[in-house]
């Protein structure tokens, strides 16, 4: 049930209408059932897996809270981490690690060993809800929060359908209290939610899906063997595709949650306006970057154990962050480049505060960081390391075809609106265009977004990129 499909909006309308007719406890029970229906729409077996891990963590959290010794609490925490990461590792990384092991021993001259690969399908959103479950257990262990008294409340915190498949990853101390207390209809916030949904659909259907046409043609070889124009077209197109796709998903998720009376954290703040990689990660996929910072980087020691350890922690965090995105060495290299870049910025002492910098210097830094990020996107998009190196190798070759100019014009046409939208949001600090304007202007923006979707939507069955993670 994709967020840009008619069936989702039929589902959302029915849920909203029924939900606001119920009392608080009935609302939670109803939303839990609706969320399980939403997730089970793909395959009911995936639903059993999520429910199983939810039950385990619910009882372990209470056992941790009751435990009288630190040793017992650590044992229970370890059990939860093994269960959660064991499930994630089996479904997402088992074949990857087995395949990598085979390649390593073959490199040492060992003949093809007899190994078994699992014929499994990756459950949708397993990386997202696993991170949310781990955050909950760790926060209970650290006594940052109390375990949920009611199973239904905790299960809803994990499975609430707007964030279930691709985030934003919700923090326990932010979302769980919202689940545990009554919610009341707010017409103005619901209007904001509907406008967020409209803007999210515009980002996905108009920007991302059209840019995907260029990116897919470039990376699949339909434009021909990689050369400078093809590499640039494909890389720029994918940069705007993935941004429009994932920020659009986040807007739809946040909008749907807001209509239901919940607040989700902002997941993107104009990331392509960053002046450093550090700033980029403060603007891009904020729910993931802050999770990696708080539950991995700081746990490794952060910057508290000397400079060399800090660089090691940065690199380790980003390597694992890259692997989180997919079971492929391309994602590991993508994360490694970002980790090395973050460490290099620290070595060079690049200032974080650039508010007083000249206008030209600001934009030169933004352009530089944008191109560094675009370079890393090649590894993120390529299906294999060899395909990535082939694309990069194309930068050594020049060839020009008239079709490239047509593709460039098409790309500019469908990336420029998102760039202009971000300029406006960067200047105002709003969550969506005209957020602080009168109602009729806000509604006008939403209607204009819907009209653009009707007229310029790519009309192709492109799943949201992050659904696969």
Q: Could you give the count of Cα atoms lying within 13 Å of 209 in the half-sphere of its Cβ?
A: 21
Question: Residue 445 to residues 255, 391, 437, 439, 452: CA-CA distances in angstroms?
Answer: 15, 39, 10, 10, 10
Upstream peptide bond of 168 is cis (omega within 30 degrees of 0): yes
Answer whether 45's CB lies under 8 Å from 122's CB: no
Distance, CA of 312 to CA of 136 (rounded, Å): 26
Active-site residue 325, yes or no? yes
Q: Which value, in Å, is the radius of gyration of the alpha carbons in the chain?
A: 23
Is residue 167 left, alpha or beta, with left meaning phi > 0 and alpha meaning psi from -120 to 50?
left
Instruction: Mention every residue, 6+ apart, whose C-beta is less than 8 A from residue 97.
Output: none
Nearest to 252 by CA among 460, 453, 23, 40: 453
DSSP letter (8 states) at residue 458? -
Answer whether 235's CB lies under 8 Å from 378's CB: yes
Distance, CA of 128 to CA of 131 (rounded, Å): 5
3-state SS track over 171-217: CHHHHHHHHHCCCCCCHHHHHHHHHHHHHHHHHHHHHHHHHHHHHHH
Answer whether 211's CB lies under 8 Å from 244's CB: yes
Distance, CA of 448 to CA of 69 (rounded, Å): 60
Backbone angles phi, psi at 203, to 5 degrees: -60, -40
Question: Residue 244 to residues 155, 238, 250, 453, 457: CA-CA distances in angstroms?
Answer: 30, 10, 10, 13, 13
Catalytic residue among 325, 338, 397, 439: 325
Answer whether 3's CB lies under 8 Å from 197's CB: no
Upstream peptide bond of 223 is cis (omega within 30 degrees of 0): no
Distance, CA of 5 to CA of 344 (rounded, Å): 43
Distance, CA of 332 to CA of 312 (rounded, Å): 15
Distance, CA of 369 to CA of 359 (rounded, Å): 16
Distance, CA of 28 to CA of 378 (rounded, Å): 43
Catalytic residue set: 325
């Amino acid at each position: 049930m994709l967020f840009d499909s008619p069936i989702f909006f039929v589902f959302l309308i029915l849920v909203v209408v029924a939900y606001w007719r119920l009392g608080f406890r009935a609302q939670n029970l109803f939303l839990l059932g609706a969320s399980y229906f939403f997730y089970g729409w793909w395959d009911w077996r995936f639903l059993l897996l999520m429910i199983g891990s939810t039950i385990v963590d619910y009882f372990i959290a209470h056992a941790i809270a009751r435990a009288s010794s630190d040793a017992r609490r650590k044992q229970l925490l370890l059990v939860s981490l093994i269960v959660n990461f064991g499930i994630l590792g089996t479904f997402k990384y088992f074949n990857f690690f087995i395949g990598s092991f085979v390649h390593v021993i073959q490199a040492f001259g060992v003949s093809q060993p007899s190994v078994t690969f699992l014929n499994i399908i990756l459950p949708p959103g397993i990386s997202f809800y696993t991170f949310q479950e781990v955050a909950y257990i760790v926060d209970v262990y650290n006594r940052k929060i109390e375990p949920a008294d009611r199973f239904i409340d905790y299960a809803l915190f994990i499975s609430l359908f707007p964030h279930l498949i691709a985030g934003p990853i919700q923090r326990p101390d932010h979302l769980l209290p919202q689940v545990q207390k009554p919610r009341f209809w707010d017409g103005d916030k619901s209007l904001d939610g509907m406008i967020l949904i409209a803007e999210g659909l515009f980002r996905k259907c108009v920007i991302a899906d059209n840019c995907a046409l260029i990116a897919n043609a470039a990376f699949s070889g339909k434009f021909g063997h990689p050369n400078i124009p093809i590499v640039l077209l494909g890389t720029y197109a994918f940069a705007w595709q993935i941004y429009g796709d994932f920020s659009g998903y986040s807007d739809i998720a946040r909008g749907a949650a807001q209509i239901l009376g919940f607040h989700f954290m902002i997941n993107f703040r104009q990331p392509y306006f960053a002046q450093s990689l550090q700033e980029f990660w403060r603007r891009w996929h904020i729910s993931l970057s802050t999770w990696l910072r708080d539950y991995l980087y700081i746990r490794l020691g952060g910057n508290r154990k000397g400079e060399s350890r800090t660089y090691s922690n940065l690199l380790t965090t980003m390597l694992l962050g890259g692997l989180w995105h997919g079971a492929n060495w391309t994602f590991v290299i993508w994360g490694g480049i970002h980790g090395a870049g973050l460490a290099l910025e620290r070595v060079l002492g690049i200032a974080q505060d650039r508010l007083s910098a000249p206008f030209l210097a600001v934009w030169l830094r933004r352009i530089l960081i944008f191109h560094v990020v675009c370079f890393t996107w090649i590894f993120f998009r390529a299906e294999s390391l060899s395909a990535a190196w082939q694309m990069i190798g194309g930068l050594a070759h020049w060839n020009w075809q008239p079709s490239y100019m047509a593709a460039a014009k098409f790309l500019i046409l469908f990336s420029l609106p998102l760039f202009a939208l971000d300029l406006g949001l960067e200047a105002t600090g709003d969550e969506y265009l005209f957020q602080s304007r009168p109602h009729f202007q806000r509604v006008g923006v939403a209607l204009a977004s819907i009209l653009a979707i009707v007229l310029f939507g790519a009309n192709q069955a492109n799943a949201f990129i992050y659904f696969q993670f």
